[in-house]
A and B are shown apart, each in its own frame.
Chain A
């Protein structure tokens, strides 16, 4: 009986200068390279590291997105995942986090039994950090977010993780199955391997529709989404700050005073 590790992954635009359609408030993806979301790469890496350690571990990547997201899944397979699933259907397009987690949860239930789920903490395009935790709730799984260190017990019945906090970390033990969301401190993702690239096409990549996973259509897609983007905008970049130089604290204070007086602030 294989130990099945699911990884939730999202294809995201690779840009820091995301352009937004002013009418719909959604991202313009045309002409922008798509990549595997950064935190999801850490989630995948941890699953693959587990596979390196145990022969019976199978890694299954689950995603929701347009048909082009198959490329990102092929990349996951080229890194060493065993199987990939893409839920792709117009009916789930425009979903917010609640609707997305409904759809992905349905896909996971349709997949069947599993032992663990890794997800990235958040996606670089939406920054919500909600989908992973919502899936965990809907699957009634224990969850730990912001995982920066991961260990599994010898019998693989529990995992011990470090959960990053602003000023330290918590050590938490959780029973398996569970949902863990990964942050970049967890590991360094591997590259695809050349052999993996040529082997990827031999691995199963399923594309499922909403009907395949039997999700209630009233709970997915743009219309079913309780949150709507009201307005998106790119804030104007701030002027760079001024660094006050000085050899001593007295000097620094003096130079600061000179600057403030010069600008008639005081």
Chain B
């Protein structure tokens, strides 16, 4: 057991922190207010390799590991959770399933551009009637001999409005339930594929969350990802990794909120002394800092297990459950520590509290994480 980051991981933190402080933080409040997807930041992230961290160089990745990836999402989210999830959804939910399940041809076709950030990725699983119960897929894919025909709709798709490549789940044989789901690669511009409504959200307002609509969407046969009927497996294994990304986003939100709160508490004076001098508030800070550190250790452990090809699903679920609830708790407390100012948009903790909530919901609600954890602890 070794709790020290490697030199490379330390450098990744240093680099992404500097990047986030210089490129992300100055526009975080503005893009939240304007609900504007930060195209310019995504281009810069691409240039510095932030969109291909945990993939081998042979496909154009940075050659990094999953702890470095977790650190990347954490440090971005420390300043802007919307920017963090753009990176996380792209990496974990689109690049990863293509890397893990794709044929050599599919990998060579899609990964170099995705990992270089020339194209952006998204993932389509959730439907109006298939949320936590992902098996209730109503989007259908029919084998038409020389092509697949997709019909249906997806909702709440992160990066939807700006992505070029989508990993999409669809039912190929309803009679087989979960085993009747298959996964496909859909490209922006495919015939019959369009982007529907953009959601107006409580938080992560600068990320793009949209519907995907398939109306007789015709895609070539070689877009099947994995085997026919393997889609549920593709989706679940993808979400296992995605949870490390979202847990890291939650961790970054919590750490960012505590950082700005400490600055505020040192500067703000009441009853003749700084807030940071009151023991009751110091104890609150101590508890928040401890929760954050515990979340960090759970996340890095899950990421390390993924790098070592161990069964990391339950560890990732624990990390996501704990980090998401920590983010919600810490940001709520940080607003409280700011008092009235914390409730205004003049201070970032208000945004961070709104952003934190989604981490308890997407890529598996806290309740789903508990199902996964319970199944691994108690047995199925």
> Which A residues have a C-beta under 8 Å from some C-beta of B?
71, 74-75, 78, 191-201
Q: How far is the CB of B73 from chain A (nearest CB, A)?
A: 12
**Contact at A198–B8, with CB atoms within 8 Å?**
yes
Instruction: Using CB atoms, name the residue of chain B closest to A71.
Output: B7
Cα of A76 to Cα of B49 in the assembled complex, Å: 16
**Contact at B49–A194, with CB atoms within 8 Å?**
yes
Q: How far is the CB of B349 from chain A (nearest CB, A)?
A: 27
Q: How far is the CB of B37 from chain A (nearest CB, A)?
A: 22
Q: How far is the CB of B96 from chain A (nearest CB, A)?
A: 16
Cα of A195 to Cα of B56 in the assembled complex, Å: 10
Q: How far is the CB of A78 from chain B (nearest CB, A)?
A: 6
**Contact at A194–B53, with CB atoms within 8 Å?**
yes
Cα of A74 to Cα of B68 in the assembled complex, Å: 17
Instruction: Using CB atoms, name the residue of chain B closest to A188.
Output: B22
Q: With A74-B7, A199-B63 as given contacts, are A194 and B18 in contact (CB-CB < 8 Å)?
A: no
Indicate whether B64 reaches chain A with its CB closer than 8 angstroms: yes
User: Which of B8, B50, B53: most chain A CB closer than 10 A?
Assistant: B8
Q: With A198-B64, A199-B63 as given contacts, are A193 and B49 in contact (CB-CB < 8 Å)?
A: yes
Cα of A201 to Cα of B53 in the assembled complex, Å: 17
Cα of A74 to Cα of B72 in the assembled complex, Å: 19
* 10 pairs of A and B residues whose beta carbons are closest in the complex: A194-B49, A194-B62, A195-B62, A198-B63, A195-B49, A192-B15, A197-B11, A193-B49, A193-B48, A197-B8
Residue among B15, B62, B63, B68 making CB contact with A191, cutoff 8 Å: B15
**Contact at A197–B64, with CB atoms within 8 Å?**
yes
Q: With A197-B64, A198-B62, A198-B64 as given contacts, are A191 and B48 in contact (CB-CB < 8 Å)?
A: yes
Residue among A71, A75, A193, A201 making CB contact with B62, cutoff 8 Å: A193
Note all chain B residues with C-beta closer than 8 A to A196.
49
Note all chain A residues with C-beta closer than 8 A to B47.
193
Residue interface bits B107-150, CB-to-A below 8 A is 1, else 0: 00000000000000000000000000000000000000000000
Interface majority SS on B: helix, strand, loop or mixed? helix
Note all chain A residues with C-beta closer than 8 A to B19.
191
Q: How far is the CB of B356 from chain A (nearest CB, A)?
A: 26
**Contact at B57–A191, with CB atoms within 8 Å?**
no
Note all chain B residues with C-beta closer than 8 A to A194.
12, 15, 48-50, 52-53, 62, 64, 68, 72
Instruction: Using CB atoms, name the residue of chain B closest to A196.
Output: B49
Cα of A74 to Cα of B8 in the assembled complex, Å: 10
Cα of A74 to Cα of B52 in the assembled complex, Å: 21
Residue interface bits B54-74, CB-to-A below 8 A is 1, else 0: 000100011110001000100
Instruction: Using CB atoms, name the residue of chain A closest to B53.
Output: A194
Cα of A78 to Cα of B48 in the assembled complex, Å: 11
Note all chain A residues with C-beta closer than 8 A to B57.
195, 198-199
Note all chain A residues with C-beta closer than 8 A to B50.
194
Contacts of B1-46 to chain A: CB distance below 8 A: 7-8, 11-12, 14-15, 18-19
Given known contacts A191-B48, A194-B48, A197-B12, what 17 new A-B pairs fall within 8 Å (CB)? A71-B7, A74-B11, A75-B11, A78-B15, A191-B18, A192-B14, A192-B48, A193-B48, A193-B49, A194-B52, A197-B11, A197-B15, A197-B62, A198-B57, A198-B62, A200-B11, A201-B8
Q: How far is the CB of A161 from chain B (nearest CB, A)?
A: 27
Cα of A196 to Cα of B48 in the assembled complex, Å: 9
Note all chain A residues with C-beta closer than 8 A to B48.
191-194
Cα of A24 to Cα of B18 in the assembled complex, Å: 34
Cα of A201 to Cα of B8 in the assembled complex, Å: 9
Note all chain B residues with C-beta closer than 8 A to A75.
11
